[in-house]
Structure 1
Amino acid sequence: MAVQSVQAPAGVRGQALPGYAVAAIREAGRWRCRRLGPDSLVDLDAVITELRALRVEGAVVGLLDVDDEFFVLVRPVPGGIALMLSDAVAAIDYDVAADVLDLLRVELPPDEDALDDPWPEGDLSILADLGMTAEELEVLAGELELYPDEQLAAIGRRCGFADALAEVVDAR
């Protein structure tokens, strides 16, 4: 998949990051994807707000490929939001990853040696009802030789929205 740089608009904290932010939407048994706003890679609140504003009856999942380093899954659920971060250590360098850990109420360990190896954090069963088990998602997040766009493409294949995701991501 192609990676498109997202330019942060004026007033958005952080800087422009390469990657993409897409909403995968399932309605009436069919998947469609749409690009999220340009500030989605640097502002988790913007992602959550935009996903909630979609107001669809089916499933909605936000997919963020941030700087070719990690991915984030965001899913509105009754009473809140479900989150999954592929690499908790990314919170050291990326605001959006730190925001995910803040919402999850997870702190990084103080021992720097514990930060040598990345690990996923959050709701690993976030996609279980869509066909990807927690165990599969954990294994995929641990595939360090894959780039985040490749991991998200694998998620799309497993859940059934790979073609719709590729169409949006590859569009210029």
Structure 2
Amino acid sequence: MAVQSVKALADVREQALPGYAVAAIREDGHWRCTRLAHEALADLDVAITELRELRSTGAVLGLLDVDDEFFVLLRPTPAGVSLMLSDAVAALDYDVAADVLDLLRIEHPCEDDLDAPPWPEGDLGIFADLGLPPDELEVLAAEVELYPDEQLASIGRRCGFGDALAEVVNDTGAR
């Protein structure tokens, strides 16, 4: 069994995509950000597991910038995990996006949707208590002129952890 799990992890590493996976943690009124394993970009379970292991009395959030194509927001809750996918059409090409839709129990888009403008799915109120209302998150996710890293930077600034996010993302030695 151990050999299979090591091989499976190696397969995930080979599938790892460009982008970044970051956790934002709020404790005692202060935000800090830390990188998640790069495998979280290809395997949603890795992201969820790592976020759950970051025990905190405050908020724990996950932000995934996948291949400069779309982003995923995650927030562990006692009842499970809240998820938001910036572009449902990404599920046609990316397993991690398809996994988000599966967990949300949302039907996958069809090939005819490839030319459709991106649309978000999931909990648009995921960060509402942090100062980002659902309607603003929806508008931000639909902004096709911005890359996912720019969208996530905007989310970070709006919620109060923009500087901590920028520091981790811009730290080239963090990988």
Taking structure 1 as the reference length, the TM-score comes to: 0.91
Number of the residue aligned with 1:152: 152
The one-letter amino acid paired with 1:22 is V
After superposition, residues 96-115 of structure 1 pair within 5 angstroms as: 96-110=96-110, 112-113=112-113
Number of the residue aligned with 1:15: 15
Kindly indicate whether structure 1 or structure 2 has the higher relative contact order, using CA contacts under 8 Å at least 6 residues apart.
1
SS at match of 1:124: coil
Counterparts of 1:45 and 1:28 in 2: how far apart (Å)?
28
Number of the residue aligned with 2:124: 124
After superposition, residues 4-153 of structure 1 pair within 5 angstroms as: 10-12=10-12, 15-110=15-110, 112-113=112-113, 116-153=116-153
Taking structure 2 as the reference length, the TM-score comes to: 0.90
Query: How large is the RMSD of aligned CA atoms in angstroms?
Result: 1.7
1:91, distance to aligned residue in structure 2 (A) = 0.3
- For structure 1, the residue ranges without an aligned partner over 5 or more in a row are 1-8
Give the structure with the larger helix fraction: 2
Shift in alpha-carbon separation, 1:169–1:17, aligned structure 2, 3 A: same
- For structure 2, the residue ranges without an aligned partner over 5 or more in a row are 1-8
Q: Per-residue displacement from partner, 1:80-108 (whole Å, max 9, x unpaired)?
A: 10000000000000010000000000012
The one-letter amino acid paired with 1:82 is S
Q: In percent, how many aligned pairs have the same letter?
A: 73
**Aligned residues, how many?**
165
The one-letter amino acid paired with 1:62 is G
SS at match of 2:40: coil
Rg larger in 1 or in 2? 2
CA contact (8 A) 2:85 2:120 kept: yes
Shift in alpha-carbon separation, 1:137–1:131, aligned structure 2, 3 A: same
Moved over 3 A (4+): none
Asked if 1:162 is matched to 2:165, the reply is: no
The one-letter amino acid paired with 1:46 is V
1:114, distance to aligned residue in structure 2 (A) = 7.5
CA contact (8 A) 2:92 2:110 kept: no
